Amino acid sequence: MPAPAPDKSSRTILPWIAAIAFFMQALDSTILNTALPSIAADLGYSPLSMQSVVVSYTITLALFIPLSGWLSDRFGTSNVFRVAVALFVLGSLACALSRDLSQLILSRILQGLGGSMMVPVARLAILYSYPKKLLMRVMNFVVIPGLVGPLIGPTLGGWLVELASWHWIFLINIPIGIFGIWMATSGMPNIKKPVGGFDTLGFILFSGALSLLTFCLESGSSGALGAGYIALFFAIALLLILLYIYHARGDGNPLINLNLFKIRTLRVALAGNLATRLGIGGFPLLLPLMLQVGFGYPASTAGMILIPMAAANLLTKPIVVPVIKRFGHKNTLIANTLVLAVIMALFALISAQTPLVWMVLLLLVYGTISSLQFTSMNTIAMADLDESNSSAANSVIAVNQQLSFSFGVSFTGFLLLNLSKLEPAGSGTVNTFKYTFLILAGITALSALVFAKLKPADGAKLSGHRG
């Protein structure tokens, strides 16, 4: 049955509800970075071992995103959205009340469980409620708060840490979330759709594999397990992936349809996104840590220095389409990736005496190029999809983005901790950060090889590029 058209009130309120969800998730993803050293000091841990606080949230997002569509179709968009925001709020409160790292990680998982459904369900409600001719305008409005979040998040996090305490970076979510629930109660239509049974076995196999892979990275970072145990868990993760592939081929309604990977542009986009984010995914964590731990910057300064990057990311959006139309997806992605690698390497050259203006200029260029990079990767992924597979592919793309980000953060933490062990006692941590930047720059450069598999005309239907 077609979705019921929302009334005039819902048409006015629904985009604002979705915008709140985008803002909350984007703010939470960035406000934490500048507060990690303060959290580490308060809980008695090294700042270089705190990437698990970030990864536990992002991996939870990735694991439960495929569940959000089925739940909203089964129980209604408004019902699931309000439960999701409530879980996010409860998780935020639990984070603020945490007294050790284990409690904080568990609280972040609860927060991530809500976040995994919050944005996808809000976006799904809009897709169900508006005709295609209005979707572009509505979605353009909705994603703007998602870009504003990274703009103010690092600075707000630094200020809250210095003027109050790190607990407030989580407590700030509570009034925003309560307001979102109140708006959704009257402004979000509770749309349901006929659904089949949920692929429980596929979900267990897929989630188990990804959890073990992340656990291997985390264990390698912290030294909690020996190499033998890490290799064993890695082998089990690969076995679970193989079992999922076998299961998905025989299931009529699998969690992730393997036929999607036969689409070349989607396949290249997913692999390229994973490779690129492995190199640059940890940048928002790495730079504030280097400024605070390595150079002794206060949290507020470390946060404010990231504003140029976020501002450039936001202001670049209007020129993205003309650039891709002029040069094509393949050339744009290859050139962008190499420029990002160069900028990452240049950050290895800065020191405590480097003028702030030079760092600001680097961040402006980085924000501009990364905005172009992510938009190019996202759009080429959708280039050859049609109505029969766009919904399923959208879930796969969302999972890939979250996983690649969490892997990037985990890998950055892995490099930081293991490189720090090679430093002579009493030599500080500055060189550790510089070597990490150089290694990540090399990985970023190599990811250009993935995009070289694209054809010059790929994505022409979207951009108008003639090849």
Residue pLDDT, tens place only, 352-370: 888 888 888 999 999 889 8
| Residues whose CB is less than 8 angstroms from the CB of residue 30 and which lie 6 or more positions away in sequence, other chains included | 149, 150, 153, 154, 157, 284, 306, 310
Model pLDDT, residue 1: 44
Q: How confident is the model at residue 6 (pLDDT cuts 50, 70, 90)?
A: low
Mean pLDDT along residues 203-219? 78
Mean pLDDT along residues 392-407? 75
**Rounded distance, CA 404 to CA 107, Å?**
22
Looking from the CA of 251 toward its CB, the CA atoms found within 13 Å total 20
Helix, strand, or coil here: 27?
helix
Per cent of the chain over pLDDT 70 is 85
Model pLDDT, residue 8: 57
Mean pLDDT along residues 113-140? 76
Could you tell me how many residues make up the chain?
467
Residue 224 has pLDDT above 70, yes or no: no
Place of tokens 């890490």: 230
Residue 344 has pLDDT above 70, yes or no: yes
**Rounded distance, CA 388 to CA 298, Å?**
52
Residue 432 has pLDDT above 80, yes or no: yes
**Rounded distance, CA 4 to CA 9, Å?**
14
Listed by start position, the domains of the chain span: 1-194, 200-254, 257-467
Which of 25-39, 123-137, 200-214, 250-264 bottoms out in mean pLDDT, i.e. has the lowest? 123-137
For residue 107, give the amino acid letter.
S
Which of 35-49, 299-313, 415-429 bottoms out in mean pLDDT, i.e. has the lowest? 415-429
For residue 463, give the amino acid letter.
S
**Rounded distance, CA 316 to CA 313, Å?**
5
Place of tokens 């979510």: 173
Q: 257-467 has which fold?
A: Growth Hormone; Chain: A; (1.20.1250)
Provide the sign of the torsion angle of the four alpha carbons 324, 326, 330, 332, taken in this order: negative
Per residue in 288-330, pLDDT (tens digit) is 888 888 888 887 777 777 778 878 877 887 787 788 888 888 9
Mean pLDDT along residues 204-228? 73
- Best CA proximity match to 362, nearest among 437, 275, 281: 437
| Residues whose CB is less than 8 angstroms from the CB of residue 372 and which lie 6 or more positions away in sequence, other chains included | 316, 320, 323, 324, 332, 336
Model pLDDT, residue 293: 82
Model pLDDT, residue 133: 61
Superfamily of domain 1-194: MFS general substrate transporter like domains (1.20.1250.20)
Residue 180 has pLDDT above 60, yes or no: yes
Token pair, residue 194, equals: 């006929």
Answering whether pTM is above 0.85, one says no
1-194 and 257-467 in the same fold: yes
Residue 334 has pLDDT above 90, yes or no: yes
Place of tokens 């994505």: 459
Model pLDDT, residue 445: 94
Model pLDDT, residue 126: 80
**Residue-averaged pLDDT of the chain:** 81
Token pair, residue 26, equals: 């984007």
- Best CA proximity match to 454, nearest among 279, 337, 340, 331: 331
Model pLDDT, residue 2: 44
Per residue in 236-282, pLDDT (tens digit) is 989 999 999 999 888 777 877 888 888 898 999 999 999 998 888 88
